[in-house]
Amino acid sequence: MNWNVLFDFSPLVDEFDKILGAFWSTIRLSLMTGVLALILGTILAGMRVSPTPVLRAAGTFYVNTLRNTPLTLVLLFCSLALSDTLGLKLSNVSTVNFYWLAVFGLSAYTAAFVCEALRSGINTVPVGQAEAARAIGLTFTQSLRMVVLPQAFRAVIAPLGSITIAMMKNTTVVLVASYLEAAALMKDMFEEYGATLPIFLGFAAGFMILTLPTGFLFGWAAKRWAVAR
């Protein structure tokens, strides 16, 4: 057995710039996905509690479909079906095109989880407050936006943190959608240097450097913005 290779950290040093670049791709993917998933998830949650049956049904159908489909399938659908077969081109630059396809696939999937977290947050807001909002003449959308959702968000900051961390780790699956991020580079390095423990540890640490502070940040925010009742 070649113990030297197994404990050789030099590939991490040699390829440091590349690794930083790959994690930067992961960050860009996570940030854009986080923003889009939050927006889409909020709209979906609004649909699922709306008084209009058609909107409720559409929201429920979306959530049940996306939440119960493996992420790999969603991303393959984006890259193979949308891009290769249907010829959807979001940019002439291939990497940009695949970036957006990966973002859309990942956002569409994550939004279903955001929606369900938010919906449980909506349930923590006493129904009387929504009634009071309607009683002063706010419309359904106004009372959702100004009274119910602000409190619902604060109630679910912690679960949204878990969803965010899961989403950041899920970016590794976009490997299948032809976008190069940290996991893709790790796979390349495994092929070049052999699948060694140091490379694996290096990348695992890289993800923890991203996810641990995220967790702390959400935990702090959950306490900071808790609604006193």
Task: State the residues that interact with another protein by CB under 8 A.
Answer: 51, 126, 128-129, 131-139, 142, 146-147, 150-151, 154, 227-229
CB of 134 vs another protein, minimal distance in Å: 6
Cα(151)–Cα(225) distance, integer angstroms: 9
CB of 158 vs another protein, minimal distance in Å: 17
Of the pair 100, 140, the CB lying nearest another protein is at 140
Cα(79)–Cα(75) distance, integer angstroms: 6
In this structure, what are the phi and psi dihedrals at residue 91, rounded to the nearest 5 degrees? Answer: -160, 155
Crossing angle of helices 197-224 and 157-170, rounded to 10°: 160
CB of 151 vs another protein, minimal distance in Å: 5
Of the pair 93, 132, the CB lying nearest another protein is at 132
Of the pair 83, 143, the CB lying nearest another protein is at 143
| Number of DSSP helices (H) and strands (E) in the chain, helices first | 12, 0
Of the pair 1, 127, the CB lying nearest another protein is at 127
CB of 142 vs another protein, minimal distance in Å: 6
Of the pair 1, 136, the CB lying nearest another protein is at 136
* Cβ burial 15-29 (10 Å sphere, 16+ → b, else e): beeebeebbebbeeb
CB of 146 vs another protein, minimal distance in Å: 7
Instruction: Give, in order, the Cα–Cα distances in Å from 78 to each of 81, 84, 100, 106, 127.
Output: 6, 9, 10, 10, 40
